[in-house]
Amino acid sequence: MSTAVLSRQKMPFLPDIKSSEERSSTPEGKSPKSRYRNPLRHNVYVTMLRQGFHRSFADLYSLMKFWNETRQAAGPDSALWKARSVEEQPYKLETLQLFLTRAEAASRAGDHGSVYESQLALARFFSHPEDKWLSHHFYQMSLVSARKIKIDGGKKEAEANAHIGQVYLEQGQVELAKEHYEAFRHLAAGRTWHDGEGRTHYSRSCEGLCRVYTLLADRALQSQEYKTAIQILTKAYEMAKEAGDRQIEGNAAYRVGLAYQKAGDQLTAKRFLNIYMEISKILSDANNVGKAYKAIAKSLESEDKLTETIQSLEKFAEVSQNSDQQQNLIEAYMSLGMSFNSRGQYDQSCQYFEQAYETACALESVPLLHKAQVCLASARAHRMLRAYIIHVEAGGRQSVQRLISWKESRQDTFNEPAHELSMLQKGQLDSYTQ
Amino acid sequence: MSAKLNPLANPKGQKKLCEICQKPAHIQCTRCRVTFYCNTEHQQADWVSIHEKVCQLLILIRKPAPFHAVQADRDKQRNEIRRRQEELIEISQAAARRRLSEGSHQEALPAAQFSLRCAMDVYGSSAIRLVPSYLLMAEASMGLGKLVQAKEYLSLAEWTVVQTPNCSNNTLHQLHRNMGRLYAATGDLEEALWHLAEDVFYATEGFGLDSVVTCQGYFLMANVFLRQNKADIANSIYSEVARKWHIHLTRLLVQKHTQEHVQAEQLLDEGQRAEAEQTLRTLLEAQEQSSKPQLEQSAILAHCLAMLWYLSDCSEKALEFGRKAMELSQQVSELNLSDPIKALLERAEESLMVVKTN
């Protein structure tokens, strides 16, 4: 019965195309037909404007303009000329649109936290090297909006500063990086903020500052301003201590030590190098312990404490041997050889050079091998020189005989007992005299 | 000034039609003798709007062509007429535009119509050059509340633009601005927003991001948002408009001071001046009437208006707004406007003294 009633209702055979209700119920934000005619960039801009996001529009427009101008200025020969504009890459353009509008909507509502999040998301999104400039721009923006956040005690601001410091470090603008890292440290001091990996922000800031100071000090060292370099490096060492990472602390101490060494203050240098050694021992990092011994030996050498130098170098060799670090071992042997060589103890010198040579052979490292060969040869020559001179000065038949035999065979036989030689070459000499 | 004319007495094949309404004419302009009207009201309207300026120029175009035996002479004659017609288009468009910026739409209509007719004679019926005239017609009609006519003209303009690839940004931005206005007037707010967005985009493409050409588009958009009860968006756009005008006017002021011989008209043309005055005044009044006024915004607006009046050599109004701006800016501590306002006030007083002593 009911089906009959229903079937009697007037059902049009074709849909009613004239009814205006159907047509007017297009979804909100429908786009005009021109959407299909215009390029994507046009549509993105117009959609933003249509929703009232004038700031996003201005931001994006000026960014793209800046890029185009840079490209024009770079000229057709540059790599930038061939790079594709972000405007031609739909995925990137739409991401920009999404986050920029989200940020603007949040800023209109006064929610600076969300603005910061959106900008940070954009900064992280453009991680590809050719988009680095965009990433940098959005990190800057995120710092500006992070400064407006009041409720979190400056945590976001601190993070934003850290990001920008990182950016400047990448760009090589160390001074600016220093400013931001210092701000970061200042904000993070005395707080217990953690990042995702469980490290405190404060420790991170100290680590960053340590890196920045090291870079600054390198510059000072290059221009041979040791005093400033030492000052900066000492700051770096303090930062490293506060960062709570022994590895970094050790390295910082090592750098301070080296700087003092260059400046000529061997005592202080040794003090710092010993700190470095102790830390390295605690961390049982044989490589670094070796490095420490080597540096200390250098200090001792410039103080003319030769026995101690050799002791230190021998320890270096020992540590290297124990930890099976051939490269360091060669270095240790070479240094030992050199130092004996400089004192005129050619026997020991030869011995160590020989060891260095053998190790280099085992390592199959040709440049080291060559070096060892040359050093060994020169040490041997020096060793022989004294005997040679004695023979020349002594004169007499026997000595001349020896000299002649050396000239022929080029074998170092000066130190061998005299009779062996005379037996060997008697007949030959007799024939000469007759 | 007018002579009677009987349509039945016209020579065969010749139809004298009214300049305004295209109906059979009954009177003739006695100065040029080539323009006809159906009654004195139409003649009066045309005279006020445009005919006064073009009366003598029309003679050469409309009188029967004299006979030239040589092809070269005929070509010369044709070129002369063409040149004259192009001149007429420019004159009439400028007249219409000025009337529109003054807000007298009724008087703009005949001039716009005349320019359209001239343009059609010169360029044919579907050339892109017709678009400015269409837009003038549409704007005048809209001002008079004749929305149907305005829509007609705008769709003609749009059709012409669609047919022509690579239109100039200026044309596109004006077309979309008028479309936006029309849709806003008819109440189709969504459509209006799309067109205004296009307008702002094309204006930015053509004139740059900081240009004040975009301001009117933004202002209209903000009005539409306000009608949609999206006050936060509207306010954000209003402050953007104020900021843009403020930057622009400050720059003009510097120009005026550094270059002595620059005239006020060179810095700010009549249309722009009228637009700025209207926009800024509306915004300031809205601020004053709102329940929670933003003092910073009001100070900027008052400063803008003071600069505007000073630039158009109206020192009294400049002083009035300058004092208001001073008062407002002192209430907002973080705004650094006091110094420029003080300088402006001093200059305005100076020029007022000069005017009085003269």
Fold annotation for A172-284: 1.25.40
* A32 to B232: CB separation less than 8 angstroms, yes or no: no
Report the residue of A34, A37, A54, A97 to disrupt the B interface, i.e. the one with the largest count of B CBs within 10 Å. A54
Neighbours of B60 (CB within 10 A): 15
What are the pLDDT digits (tens) for A300-345? 777 777 777 777 777 777 777 777 777 777 777 777 777 777 777 7
Asked whether A299 and A273 are in contact (CB, 8 A), the reply is yes
* B197 to A50: CB separation less than 8 angstroms, yes or no: yes
Å from A177 to nearest chain B CA?
A: 29
3-state secondary structure A224-236: CCHHHHHHHHHHH
B221 vs A contacts (CB less than 8 Å): 49, 52
Report the residue of B159, B162, B190 to disrupt the A interface, i.e. the one with the largest count of A CBs within 10 Å. B190
B201 vs A contacts (CB less than 8 Å): 42, 45-46, 49
pLDDT given at position B148: 92
Q: How many interchain CB pairs under 8 A, A with B?
A: 49
The mean pLDDT of chain A is 75
Considering only CA atoms, which of B247, B193, B249 is closest in space to residue B220? B193
In whole angstroms, what separates CA B307 from the centre of its chain? 21
- Tell me the HSE value of B291 on the side-chain side, using a 13 A CA sphere: 1
* B200 to A49: CB separation less than 8 angstroms, yes or no: yes
Least confident of A146-150, A302-306, B199-203: A302-306
- Predicted ipTM > 0.85: no
Fold annotation for A305-390: 1.25.40
* B194 to A32: CB separation less than 8 angstroms, yes or no: yes
Å from B261 to nearest chain A CA?
A: 34
* Sequence letter at residue A408: E
Helix count and strand count (H, E) for chain B: 15, 3
Residue of A nearest to B165 (CA): A37
Pinpoint the residues of chain A covered by CATH 1.25.40.10: 172-284, 305-390
* A61 to B191: CB separation less than 8 angstroms, yes or no: no
pLDDT-above-70 percentage for chain A: 81
Asked whether B142 and B178 are in contact (CB, 8 A), the reply is yes
Residue of A nearest to B223 (CA): A52
* B237 to A32: CB separation less than 8 angstroms, yes or no: no
Which tokens in the block code for residue B336? 């650094």
pLDDT given at position B134: 92
Considering only CA atoms, which of B318, B320, B315, B298 is closest in space to residue B306? B318
What are the pLDDT digits (tens) for A354-382? 777 877 777 777 777 787 778 777 777 77
What are the pLDDT digits (tens) for B143-192? 898 999 999 999 999 899 888 888 888 899 999 999 999 999 888 888 89
Residues of B at the A interface (Cβ-Cβ below 8 Å)?
Answer: 190-191, 193-194, 196-198, 200-201, 204, 209, 218, 221, 225, 230, 232-234, 236-237, 240
Domain boundaries along the sequence of chain B: 1-63, 79-167, 249-259+270-357
A39 vs B contacts (CB less than 8 Å): none
B230 vs A contacts (CB less than 8 Å): 52
Run of H or E including B4: strand B2-4
Neighbours of B156 (CB within 10 A): 18
Determine the Cα–Cα distance for residues A182 and A275; give it in Å rounded to an integer: 26
Determine the Cα–Cα distance for residues A340 and A355; give it in Å rounded to an integer: 14
Listed in sequence order, the residues at least 6 apart from B189 whose beta carbon sits closer than 8 Å to its beta carbon are B183, B224, B227, B228
